[in-house]
Amino acid sequence: MRKIGIVGAGQAGLQLGLGLLKNGYQVVITSNQTPDQIRNGRVTSSQCMFDRALENERALGIDFWKDAPPVEGIQFSLVPGGQTAMQWSSRLDRPAQSIDQRVKMPRWMTEFEKAGGELRIADVDMAGLEALEQECDLVIVASGKGEIGKLFQRDETRSPFDKPQRSLALTYVHGMEPRKEHSAVNFNLMPGVGEYFVFPALTLSGPCEIMVFEGIPGGPMDNWANVKSPQEHLAESLRILKEFVPEEYARSKDCVLTDDLGILAGRFPPTVRKPVLALPNGAVALGMGDSVCLNDPITGQGSNNASHCAAAYLTAILEHGDRPYDAAFMQATFDRYWDYAQFVVGWTNNMLLPPPEHMVKILGTAQQNQKVAHWFVNGFNDPRTYFPTITDPALTDAFLAEAMGAAA
């Protein structure tokens, strides 16, 4: 029986580990936190997952939150100078869902051990990787935001940004007034300021809303370094809404924090890294998830990417049989994932830049044409559907002309 070692107990590592156990592999997963430490710790992400990613969980029987608040659509608003200049929405074909990782990961860790996996609580460094490689047929690093993930070499050709493009913050709250039409990700674009989006989720204390702030560095939404307490974090969140997104402030003004650890602030540069890590002893390890493809959360694809990466790697391992897991296998396995991830990376990185005219046309036309709105909203479920339409103004114009003609 082949033995796989996975460093990191997040969306990618645990999903892959559970999938391997179901297919008869031995699996050891290392985590630097116990389930209780994760459950009692700080929020780590906003993790809105769309249907294709949720289907990966359903296929493994690890979708334990069927009654969680659904995310039924997406609304887009353009809000220059605090005034709503454009607003439209459309429903998703199948709802999305967000489960606080403090709820999800401890449950998955328990299921992993129940299924026969070995969970080790340890900080793994290079020496630890070498030791794990000695006992396993394959070692995978799925710890993207930790120090060990940074051991993988940055891929200059796929990483156009060398510094953070947004100042980021999360605020988990109770008490927000629901949308009237249907639940949704409310995505607000404030030119020259940043972006704000908010959506329903499930946290430790039940249904909640997650506020996500994406401020342009040095701009008026980039004040999180001066926030010293949870209540100051909430106050800063509401200040931003009151000044820049008054419609959102109106339904958020009575919010309270879900808990004092339901907040997060930070920044990081979007980075793609090379997937094969050479160890000092001559062996190699394979990177996955955020360790090799770390996106800005502006398009809400982080946990979706992790899920699709785990699914691609599971298929690659099962197809590989009993052959050696050499560097060529590792590169080919990453390339299988990159066939999908390249579109997410391209779309996400472009969203961090001032929008070109043809993208402005798409958003403007969506306000008038439900076919365009539906296409754009459901692209969050599979960003490949945006391509090549969003890459070429002529293709964009042709698509919009066809949609408008059909409507007429």
List, as one string, the DSSP characters of 77-97: EE-GGG---EEEEEEEEEEEE
pLDDT for residue 1: 79
CATH class of the structural domain 70-98+165-266? alpha beta
pLDDT for residue 147: 78
Fold: same for 3-47+100-160+271-351 and 70-98+165-266: no
Largest CA distance in the chain: 67
Encode pLDDT of 27-43 as tens digits: 999 999 999 999 999 99
Q: Is residue 383 within 8 Å of residue 299, measured between CB atoms?
A: yes
Please state, rounded to an integer, the average pLDDT across all residues of the chain. Answer: 96
| Structure-token match 């960003």, residue found | 383
- CA dist 331 and 15 (Å) reads 20
Residue 279: CB atoms within 10 Å:
16
Amino acid identity at 340: Y
pLDDT for residue 116: 98
Q: What is the mean pLDDT of residues 230-259?
A: 98
Phi, psi of 256 (to 5 degrees): -130, 155
Q: Where are the domains of the chain?
A: 3-47+100-160+271-351, 70-98+165-266, 357-407
- CA dist 242 and 385 (Å) reads 35
Burial class (CB in 10 A: 0-12, 13-18, 19+), 394: exposed
pLDDT for residue 149: 78
Q: What is the mean pLDDT of residues 150-158?
A: 94
Is the pLDDT at 56 greater than 70, yes or no?
Answer: yes
- CA dist 282 and 176 (Å) reads 54
Confidence category of residue 88, pLDDT binned at 50, 70, 90: very high
Determine whether domain 3-47+100-160+271-351 maps to CATH 3.40.50.300.
no
Percent of the chain topping pLDDT 70:
99
Dihedral sign (CA 214, 348, 296, 356): negative
